[in-house]
Amino acid sequence: MPFLKDTMPLVKEPQQRPVGLPSWFLQSLFAAFNVMLLIIFSGLFFAFPCRWLAQKGEWAFPIVTSLLFILTFVSLVSLNFSDPGILHRGSMEEDPMMVPVVRVNHRAFCLQWCPKCCFHRPPRTYHCPWCNICVEDFDHHCKWVNNCIGHRNFRLFMLLVLSLCLYSGTLLGACLLVLVRTSHLLFSTDKTMLVHSMLVAVPAAGFLVRSFLLLLTQAKSVSAGERSCESKVCDMQGCGQTSCTFPASVHLPFHCPPPLGLQQRPHCLQKRSVHSLSCVQGCVYLRAECRREEG
């Protein structure tokens, strides 16, 4: 049974932020700004183009956009306060020089030590420098909602992206319909409807393109059984390529195993002190120990 290292340490962590910079306040302010942006543009749409369509008997767009707005708004707010799968900090008594080994899907993995949270993190667990927490099944840190995307809120994130894509497309379609119906008012003195329709249509088109590309990227990652951070590693090193710092007998899977569960101890955990060995050498040493015990 080969012993594999977790691939998450291959991900280059962002540079440390300067001490004293109130980044948490700026990120929270940016997330609140996104919520207000959604409310403002939706208010312009419901006050002018949507009301005009309702007066003309076009009730399909007002009903559909209202339902999609509620779904998008609830998903956005819920994602802001959701738990991505935070793993609690360990004890200072744990020895970072000990190499835990866990078996997942008939494969063995050397768990990596997180010096900031003081525990050996399970596979697919990554320390987010922005939130200063270890997140189970980490995907990425979303600055739009000021929260990490992980094991517990990934479905909610996908729901937000899908609902935002549908909502932006519906807004754009409704505004274009209003512009076509009011094209004879281009030379009129009252251009209020045209101006407000354009104010909603342009941002809606931008959000539609961005959310659609994000939806395609996430769908590709899900179909491949990997996360966004793992896809970046695969693109940088070449898919199927292993790191040059490891021997050929040690494979680093880019399709990592599923998460072990929040704070759940592995069902088979072997620990040995390897003060004078590297992690790979420690894995080889532990493999021999396991074979000797099984024999």
Is 118 annotated in the active site?
no
Label residue 195 exposed, middle or buried (CB < 10 Å: 0-12, 13-18, 19+).
Answer: exposed
Strand partners, 3: 108
State the Cα–Cα distance between residues 46 and 62, nearest whole angstrom.
8
State the Cα–Cα distance between residues 123 and 256, nearest whole angstrom.
7
Tokens linked to 182: 């009011």
Strand partners, 148: 141
Which of 142, 165, 229, 256 does the annotation list as catalytic? 142
Label residue 23 exposed, middle or buried (CB < 10 Å: 0-12, 13-18, 19+).
Answer: exposed
Would you call 118 helix, strand, or coil by DSSP?
coil
State the Cα–Cα distance between residues 85 and 146, nearest whole angstrom.
15
Strand-strand pairing, 3-5 and 107-110: parallel
State the Cα–Cα distance between residues 160 and 218, nearest whole angstrom.
12
State the Cα–Cα distance between residues 138 and 229, nearest whole angstrom.
8
Number of H helices, E strands in the chain: 7, 11
Strand partners, 86: 135
12, 128, 138 from 15: Cα distances, Å: 9, 11, 18
Residues identified as active-site: 142
